[in-house]
Amino acid sequence: MNIPETLKYTKDHEWLKILENDEALVGITDFAQSSLGDITYVELPEEGEEFSEGDTFGVVESVKAASDLYMPVDAEVIEGNAVLEESPEKVNSSAFEEGWIVKIKITDPSQLELLLDAAAYAEIAKD
Amino acid sequence: MSDLKRTPLYSFNVAQGGRMVDFAGWEMPVQFGGILDEHKTTRAAAGLFDVSHMGEAIVSGEQATEFLDYVLTNDISSMEVGRVVYSLMCYENGGVVDDLLVYRQGADSYLLCLNASNVDKDVDWLMSHMDGFAVKVKDVSSDYGLIALQGKEAFPILEILCDSDLKTLKYYHFVDAKVAGVDCIVSRTGYTGEKGVELFVRSEDAASLAEALFEVGKPKGLVLAGLGARDSLRLEASYSLYGHEISEEITPVQANLMWTVKLSKKSDFVGKAALVAEKEKGPEKKIVFFKTGTRRIIRAGTALMCGPEVAGMVVSGTFSPVLNEGIGSALVDAKFLKQELSVDNRGKAMAIYATKPPFIELNPQA
């Protein structure tokens, strides 16, 4: 199971990649996409929408199941990954790169400390 | 999953990377490479499915034909030996005990192919109606493996391994033949809408048959396919699935399956009176197939709304990899049949679009 060292994680199987200026990309992990199977639809939030940590900000659907997406930290949406509207399978083929789901502006960077590192997430992502 | 039953292909499925799940008490592969790919490849080339969980029963005896005409809705007496017929078995009230395939193996001998989850119920039902008929019913489910080979390449693959000429094998007919040196019932049937066969094989021969088919089929694009693709393929073809489009509560009148119910056959049959009455009166509910117009799947159990009123319930829902949109079926109250229907999507109404089945053009008898 691929769990990049450089990312932060949640127990809900989302990853967060910190960019500059308190911006970040959020997606679902390789473990999550593998559990869901072929992803057929990703519901993206609107630009400018604000969420608190733990809020549902979208849905990932596969043939087998629909799974809510939870915001890892308080944040405002900069943009959703428009590529996923036509090619949701990118979440399967490239969960940590092309398959990112939303770009956010982090409201309270101190919350980042509450996220899991790769080693801690690896404990959760066991079958 | 230690209490689950395993098919003769269990080890083969696991060795080939099948993701195993509990299905009707069986440990079955839901997918191998991925449901969408398995689906599309079955339409484009061929897919191999382990459906050994399906049950089989032998009905034989002097009055086997009369008996089956009495417990089943389709016309059994007019079947020739070598024919397959799709039939329902109904309760007195018109609800469905099961849907099944009937194979006429001899003048007085039939093989029934039953849904896995219904085998015990079906056999009990058959036995409880045997009084007065010179007939025997035997559950032979554990004797058989069942392998479905479906898609344009199914026959080219099969012909490499089969000792008989299959060119004359017509749709909904079967023949006894050797495939890869193994005795099979080769049945020109399937649940995908594609041209193909289902192979009944002795349990102990099932794994070697699957291996041989896969080996020969791989160069022709054959993939292993699981129950996930089986479900999306059957729904795209608008085939009914027991417990979804038909059930104890959902009758053939409601499910548009009256073509399997021969009201004009000589024999009376269980459920006839109720079905005649329902047909004359007009059903209170109907199965409707729909598209979502988007990539969203509306899943079984979702309420269908007509404005503020509940109009029905979704009974099947999946993603069509061919249409790239959500498809499904729903049981809709008759008074809402011509109305615009929607489902609630987090407080917003999302329309569904009733569609005449099947969802895509298919020609399995070609």
* pLDDT for B26 beyond 70: yes
Contacts of B228 in chain A (CB under 8 A): 37, 63-64
What DSSP line would sit under B334-357, residue for residue? GGGTTS--EEEETTEEEE-EEEPS
pLDDT tens track for A75-120:
999 999 999 999 999 999 999 999 999 999 999 999 999 999 999 9
pLDDT score for B1: 53
pLDDT score for B2: 64
Contact flag B294-A41 (C-beta cutoff 8 Å)? yes
Contacts of B33 in chain A (CB under 8 A): none
User: What residues have CB less than 8 Å from B232, skipping those under 6 apart?
Assistant: A63, B35, B39, B318, B319, B320, B321
A26 found inside a domain: yes
* pLDDT for A127 beyond 80: no
CATH code for position A92 = 2.40.50.100
User: What residues have CB less than 8 Å from B140, skipping those under 6 apart?
Assistant: B56, B57, B58
Number of domains in chain A: 1
Confidence of residue A64 (pLDDT cuts 50, 70, 90): confident
Q: Which of A41, A64, A89 is facing B228, going by the closest CB pair?
A: A64
User: What residues have CB less than 8 Å from B320, skipping those under 6 apart?
Assistant: B232, B235, B236, B291, B326, B327, B359, B360
Give the residue ranges of DSSP H helices in B34-178. Answer: 35-44, 64-71, 119-127, 154-161
* pLDDT for B38 beyond 80: yes
Residue A94 three-state SS: coil
A121 found inside a domain: no
Burial classification of residue A4, based on how many CB atoms lie within 10 Å of its CB (0-12 exposed, 13-18 middle, 19 or more buried): middle
Q: What whole-number distance in Å separates Cα of residue B154 and Cα of residue B44?
A: 11
A123 found inside a domain: no
pLDDT score for A126: 80
Touching B: A residues 51-110, CB under 8 Å: 61, 63-64, 66, 88-89, 92
Residues B7-31: what's their mean pLDDT?
A: 97
Burial classification of residue B250, based on how many CB atoms lie within 10 Å of its CB (0-12 exposed, 13-18 middle, 19 or more buried): buried
A49 found inside a domain: yes
The residue segments making up the domain with residue A89 are: 8-108
Contacts of A41 in chain B (CB under 8 A): 294-297, 319, 326
A124 found inside a domain: no
A75 found inside a domain: yes
Q: Which of B35, B299, B326 is facing A38, going by the closest CB pair?
A: B35
Confidence of residue B345 (pLDDT cuts 50, 70, 90): confident
pLDDT score for B346: 73
Q: Is B323 on the interface with A (CB under 8 A)?
A: no
pLDDT > 70 in chain B, percent: 99
Contacts of A37 in chain B (CB under 8 A): 31, 34-35, 228
* pLDDT for B223 beyond 70: yes
Q: What whole-number distance in Å separates Cα of residue B157 and Cα of residue B299?
A: 36
Q: What whole-number distance in Å separates Cα of residue B207 and Cα of residue B195?
A: 23
- In chain A, DSSP assigns E strands to 8-9, 14-18, 23-28, 39-43, 50-51, 56-62, 66-70, 75-80, 102-106
- Of B258, B315, B318, give the one whose Cα is nearest residue B287: B315
Residue whose structure tokens are 């016309």: B75
Burial classification of residue A66, based on how many CB atoms lie within 10 Å of its CB (0-12 exposed, 13-18 middle, 19 or more buried): middle
Q: What whole-number distance in Å separates Cα of residue B13 and Cα of residue B30?
A: 10
User: How confident is the prediction for chain A on average, in pLDDT?
Assistant: 95
Residues A33-62: what's their mean pLDDT?
A: 95
Which residues sit opposite A69 in a β-bridge? A58
Looking at the complex, report in whole angstroms how far the Cα of residue A122 sits from the nearest Cα belonging to chain B. Answer: 21
pLDDT score for B187: 98
Amino acid at A94: S
Residues B61-68: what's their mean pLDDT?
A: 98
A69 found inside a domain: yes
Q: What whole-number distance in Å separates Cα of residue B24 and Cα of residue B116?
A: 7
pLDDT > 90 in chain B, percent: 97
pLDDT score for B116: 97
C-alpha atoms less than 13 angstroms from C-alpha of B193 in its C-beta half-sphere: 23
Q: What whole-number distance in Å separates Cα of residue B194 and Cα of residue B364?
A: 5
User: What residues have CB less than 8 Å from B274, skipping those under 6 apart?
Assistant: B90, B92, B93, B94, B251
A47 found inside a domain: yes
